[in-house]
Amino acid sequence: MSSLQIAAVVALLSGAASWCGIIAFRRAPWSLAEARLRMSGAAPSGVASANAGDDWCRSMASSWFGRTLVARVESDLGIVGLTPADVVSRVLVSATILTFALVASLVALISMGVLPPSPLWWLACLVAGLVAGWVALRDVSARIDRRKLEVRQVTNDFIQLVAVGLTTDQSVEEAIRFAIAIGAGPAFEELRLEVLTAPQRGVPVWDAIDGLGVRYGVRELCEFASSVERQGLQGVSIGDSVSTLATAMRASALDRLEREADKANANLSGPTIGFVVTTIVFLAYPLAQRISDAFGG
Cβ-contact 237, 231 below 8 angstroms: yes
Taking alpha carbons only, the member of 185, 226, 233 closest to residue 209 is: 226
Same domain, 56 and 157: no
169 dihedral zone (left: phi>0; alpha: psi -120 to 50; beta): left
Same domain, 109 and 46: yes
Establish if 104 belongs to a structural domain: yes
Instruction: For residue 231, give the H/E element and its range.
Output: helix 219-234
Last residue of a domain, one of 124, 145, 166: 145
Establish if 28 belongs to a structural domain: yes
Same domain, 137 and 181: no
What's the CA gap between 199 and 202, in Å, rounded? Answer: 5
Last residue of a domain, one of 92, 127, 145: 145
Q: What is residue 244's predicted lDDT score, i.e. its pLDDT? A: 83
Q: How far is CA 288 from the centre of its chain?
A: 52
Taking alpha carbons only, the member of 33, 90, 29 closest to residue 60 is: 90
Task: Give pLDDT tens digits along the chain (297 positions).
Answer: 566 566 666 667 777 777 766 666 555 555 555 555 555 544 444 444 445 556 666 666 667 666 777 777 777 777 777 788 888 888 888 888 888 888 888 888 888 877 788 888 888 888 988 898 889 888 888 888 888 888 888 888 888 888 888 888 778 888 888 888 887 777 778 888 888 888 888 888 888 888 888 888 888 888 888 888 887 777 667 777 888 888 888 888 788 788 877 777 777 777 788 888 888 877 787 777 777 777 765
Sign of the torsion angle spanned by Cα atoms 237, 247, 198, 230: negative
Taking alpha carbons only, the member of 110, 141, 138, 139 closest to residue 124 is: 110
Cβ-contact 175, 162 below 8 angstroms: yes
Same domain, 135 and 209: no
DSSP annotation of 115? S
What's the CA gap between 127 and 131, in Å, rounded? Answer: 6
Cβ-contact 182, 158 below 8 angstroms: no
How many structural domains is the chain composed of? 2
Q: What is residue 246's predicted lDDT score, i.e. its pLDDT? A: 81
Same domain, 157 and 134: no
Q: What is residue 154's predicted lDDT score, i.e. its pLDDT? A: 85
Q: What is residue 22's predicted lDDT score, i.e. its pLDDT? A: 65
Establish if 263 belongs to a structural domain: no
What's the CA gap between 172 and 55, in Å, rounded? Answer: 49
Same domain, 157 and 97: no
Same domain, 26 and 137: yes
What is the span of the domain harbouring residue 32? 3-145
Last residue of a domain, one of 84, 110, 145: 145
What's the CA gap between 83 and 41, in Å, rounded? Answer: 10
Q: What is residue 100's predicted lDDT score, i.e. its pLDDT? A: 87
Q: What is residue 36's predicted lDDT score, i.e. its pLDDT? A: 59
Establish if 295 belongs to a structural domain: no
Does this model's pTM top 0.85? My answer is no
Same domain, 137 and 60: yes
Taking alpha carbons only, the member of 230, 232, 235, 224 closest to residue 160 is: 224
3-state secondary structure of 204: coil
Establish if 220 belongs to a structural domain: yes
Same domain, 133 and 8: yes
